[in-house]
Amino acid sequence: MTERVLVVEDEPKLAALLCDYLRAAGLDSEWLADGRQALERLQGGAMPAALILDLMLPGLDGLELCRAVRAFSDVPILICSARVEELDRLLGLELGADDYVCKPFSPRELVARVKALLRRAQGRLAPVSWVPAAGGFAIDEAGQRILWQAQGLALTPVEFRLLRQLLQHPRRVFERAQLLDLIHEDFRDVSDRVVDSHIKNIRRKLAALDPPQECIASVYGVGYRMDLP
Sheet containing strand 223-226, edge to edge, reads 173-175, 223-226, 216-219
Hey, is 49 helix, strand or coil?
coil
Amino acid letter for position 132:
P
* Mean pLDDT value across the chain: 85
User: CB within 8 A of 47, min separation 6: which ones?
Assistant: 73, 75
Q: Spelled out in words, what is the top-level CATH class assigned to the domain 4-123?
A: alpha beta
Q: What is the pLDDT of residue 224?
A: 96
Q: What is the pLDDT of residues 204-221, one digit of tens each?
A: 999 999 899 999 999 998
State mean pLDDT over 121-139. Answer: 74
| CATH dotted code for 126-226 | 1.10.10.10
Statement: residue 136 has pLDDT above 50: yes
Q: How far apart are CA 50 and CA 73, in angstroms?
A: 11
Global pTM reads 0.61
Report strand pairing: 50-53 vs 77-81. Answer: parallel
* pLDDT tens digits, 72-93: 888 899 998 877 666 666 777 7
Residue 96: count other Cβ atoms within 10 Å of its Cβ.
19
Average pLDDT of span 52-66: 91
Distance, CA of 198 to CA of 118 (rounded, Å): 20
Determine the pLDDT at residue 12.
94
How far is 114 from 102, CA to CA, in rounded Å?
Answer: 14
Q: Using the predicted structure, report yes or no on whether residue 103 has a pLDDT greater than 90.
A: no
Nearest-angstrom CA–CA distance, 26 and 22: 7
Return d(Cα 215, Cα 227) in angstroms, integer: 5
Residue 130 confidence class, pLDDT cut points 50, 70, 90? confident
Quick one: what percent of the chain has pLDDT higher than 70? 90
pLDDT digit string, tens, across residues 155-178: 887 888 899 999 999 999 999 888
101-114 average pLDDT score: 87
What is the residue extent of each domain of the chain? 4-123, 126-226
Angstrom distance (rounded) from CA 211 to CA 8: 39
